[in-house]
Amino acid sequence: MLEKQIGVDLGTVNIRVFVRGKGVVLHEPSIVAISVLENKIVAVGNEARTMLGRTPESIEVARPLKDGVIAEFDVTESMLRYFIEKVCGRFRLFRPEVMISVPVGVTSVESRAVRDAALQAGGKQAYLIPEPLAAALGAGLPTGTPTGNMVVDIGGGTTEAAVISMNDIVVSNSVRVGGNKLDEAIAAYIRKKYNLLIGDSTAEEIKIQIGSALPLNDELVMEVRGRDQVAGLPRTIQVSSGEITEAIAEPLAAIVGVVKGVLEKTPPELAADIIDRGMVIVGGGALLRQVDAMLTQATGVPCFVAEEPQLCVALGTGKAFESGHIMRRLTLQAKTSPF
């Protein structure tokens, strides 16, 4: 097939690319390493990630997206171009149609930046799909029917919750709290309690290895290495999952708040559907232990983690191409948008 349709989930922490007919073919960190002097990209994605915190001053390792939106346009565009070329090949007869997910609350300037970046990066046509719609499609919810479908996307930079009916968003709410804030809270807790300084990636490792949203029956423990704040020397401590639950309680409360906010604004008929069918959790944060149980407990609505939660948005961007109804709407938007 010469003509290509690709879907992109341009996340704060990870980028995923879906190719129609193939599935999700790429899943890499949204990180770029740039040589400061030449203003040239030296590495992208996985390769750039290995350089985080390990580069001389002449090389800057940056995340061009912040809180789900483009913070550095040129870097984002170069990153997109790199990934599009990686999946489509450098020399191609036809330029691909690109579907990119964007958070619900983006401003017109932000959505224009995403569209421009996709076109500059080699897209023939760029469509923007609201992230929760893509997430719900990717999680396999019947979004096209007149029923309430609720999704919660706990990403790295943001958490978005929304109710979708007839392929459109009825209510949504978001907060700039996600996995990154959990990592920060863990680092702050360990600094305060043990006078130990740890880096972001160590904090993330602790979260993934022993973190839990609710206390676990069988506690997990882990050895953590860091630098003593007073002596300045390396030191090792033991941390338990119970301590991490305590450390991340505050950012988790903000996530609960977003979900409750959506439920409170949901029209009664749709709320009844959601009480019946529950809500689906997607995004990397869905992988945190007990996060489904915590949300169920806090809201009284059954919560389920989607299959492969980190890939749902990308899968949904791909599925959107197959829906005539969604494509008509997105095409109209692409034509009538004022830029």
Binding site for ligand ATP (CB under 6 A): 11-14, 68, 155-158, 178-180, 204, 207-208, 211, 283-285, 287-288, 310
Q: Taking CB positions, which residue lies at the least distance from Mg ion?
A: 155
- Nearest distance from C-beta of residue 126 to ligand ATP, angstroms: 18
Q: CB-wise, 7 or 11, nearer to Mg ion? A: 11
Q: CA nearest 16: which of 250, 339, 338, 313?
A: 313
Distance, CA of 261 to CA of 67 (rounded, Å):
19
Q: Closest Cα partner for 110 from 118, 102, 119?
A: 102
3-state secondary structure of 118: helix
Residue 310 interacts with, from ligand ATP, Mg ion, none (CB under 5-8 Å by kind)? ligand ATP
Q: Where are the beta strands (DSSP E) in the chain?
A: 5-10, 14-19, 23-29, 32-35, 40-44, 59-62, 65-66, 69-70, 97-102, 125-130, 149-154, 159-165, 168-175, 196-197, 221-228, 234-240, 279-282, 303-305
The minimum distance between CB 283 and Mg ion, in angstroms, equals 5
Question: Between 134 and 270, whose beta carbon lies closer to ligand ATP?
Answer: 134
Residue 14 contact among ligand ATP, Mg ion, none, beta carbon within 5 to 8 Å by kind:
ligand ATP
Per rule CB under 5 A, is residue 285 in the interface with Mg ion? no
Q: Residue written as tokens 């997430």? A: 135
At closest approach, how far in Å is the CB of 313 from ligand ATP? 7
Which partner in Mg ion, ligand ATP, none is near 263 (CB below 5 to 8 A by kind)? none
Part of the chain binding Mg ion (CB under 5 A), chosen from 11-19, 189-197, 205-213, 273-281: 11-19
Question: Alpha-carbon distance 160 to 136, whole Å?
Answer: 12
In this complex, which beta carbon is closest to Mg ion, that of residue 155 or of residue 226? Answer: 155
Nearer Cβ to ligand ATP (47/228): 47
Retrieve residue 252's tokens. 């988790």
Q: Note whether 11 binds Mg ion by CB under 5 A.
A: yes
Cα–Cα distance for residue pair 35/58, rounded to 1 Å: 6
Pairing of strands 5-10, 168-175: unpaired
| Interface stretch with Mg ion, choices 10-18, 27-35, 54-62, 247-255 (CB under 5 A) | 10-18
Q: Is 155 in the site for Mg ion (CB under 5 A)?
A: yes
Q: How far is CA 298 from the centre of its chain?
A: 23
CB of 11 to ligand ATP, least distance (A): 2
Residues found near Mg ion in the complex (CB under 5 A): 11, 155
